Amino acid sequence: MRKAIATGWFGLSTIFVATACLAVDFVAEDPALLPIPKDAAAAVHGDPSFSDFRSSGCEKLVGKPIDLSGSGGSSDWVATTADGCAWGAATAPIWVIRRNSTGYALVLKSAGADLTVGKTARHGLRHLAVAAGTAGWYSEVLLKYDGTKYVEARSRYVDLSNADDCRKNRDVCRR
């Protein structure tokens, strides 16, 4: 992604460019995703955010291990429902599960097409970016850890049919 420099968007674009230059760590449609550990799945299944997926028969979760702390290990997980169960047209459910001394804890529930783990950390865990898009729109959310869970720090939504949006977000529109 190239840096978008537009009045009013400079600070926001700087944050996203810093995150976007990193390789994407998780793609919901990746056929190589693995079944997640049972105790990690239990952390997701026990959260109220999973109730709609349970009622749709989406019990099976797949994902990949990630390193939220940057320590070099990969004991944390990012997960989604298997086989596209209850996905939207451009978004899948995304859960980030942190390994702790008692098992696993859910630290993010979101939706998107992919997730990137940043290099910068807050309260011991690295920033995350979740992105999604179609032929008509693109969205990106930067999330920072608050000591308990990830919270939205910045976001952008680009209407790809809007010339003004595209002028401000040339890295996304590329007309």
Quote the percentage of the chain above a pLDDT of 70: 87
Instruction: Output the CA–CA distances (angstroms, integers) from residue 90 to 103, 109, 134, 136, in the order listed.
Output: 32, 16, 6, 11
Range of the domain at 106: 10-173
Return the pLDDT at 42. 97
pLDDT of residue 8: 32
Q: How far apart are CA 39 and CA 125, in angstroms?
A: 21
Residues facing 128 on adjacent strands: 117, 143
pLDDT at residue 174, rounded to an integer: 76
| Residue 3 resides in a domain | no
Q: If DSSP codes are grouped into helix, strand and coil, which group holds residue 87?
A: coil
Q: Do the domain assignments include residue 54?
A: yes
Q: What is the pLDDT of residue 89?
A: 85
Smallest CA-to-CA distance from 21 within 7, 1, 48 is with 1
Per the document, the length of the chain is: 175
Residues 172 and 4: their CA atoms lie apart, in Å, by 9
Distance from C-alpha of 93 to C-alpha of 167, rounded to nearest angstrom: 30
The answer as to whether 159 is a domain residue is: yes
The pLDDT assigned to 18 comes to: 40
Q: What are phi and psi of 125, to 5 degrees?
A: -120, 145
Q: Which two tokens stand for residue 90?
A: 């451009």
Contact 82, 61 (CB under 8 A): yes
Instruction: Provide the pLDDT confidence category of residue 175 given band limits of 50, 70 and 90.
Output: low
Answer yes or no: is 5 within a domain. no
Q: What does the mean pLDDT of the chain come to?
A: 88
Q: What is the pLDDT of residue 1?
A: 35
Q: Tell me the C-alpha to C-alpha distance, in Å, between residue 61 and each of 25, 37, 79, 129, 143.
A: 17, 9, 6, 21, 22
Give the total number of structural domains in the chain.
1
> Which CATH number covers residue 140?
2.40.128
Asked whether residue 2 is assigned to any structural domain, the reply reads no
Tens digit of each residue's pLDDT (9 = 90 or more) over 123-167: 999 999 999 999 999 999 999 999 999 999 999 999 999 999 999
Mind listing the pLDDT tens digit for each residue in 3-31?
333 333 333 333 344 444 568 999 999 99
Give me 110's structure tokens.
Answer: 């979101």
**Cβ atoms 116, 19 nearer than 8 A:** yes
CA distance 9 to 127: 20
Question: How confident is the model over 79-103, as pLDDT tens digits?
Answer: 999 999 999 988 999 999 999 999 9
Would residue 1 count as lying in a domain? no
Highest mean pLDDT, choosing among 69-73, 106-110, 170-174: 106-110
SS3 52: helix
User: For residue 28, is it within any domain?
Assistant: yes
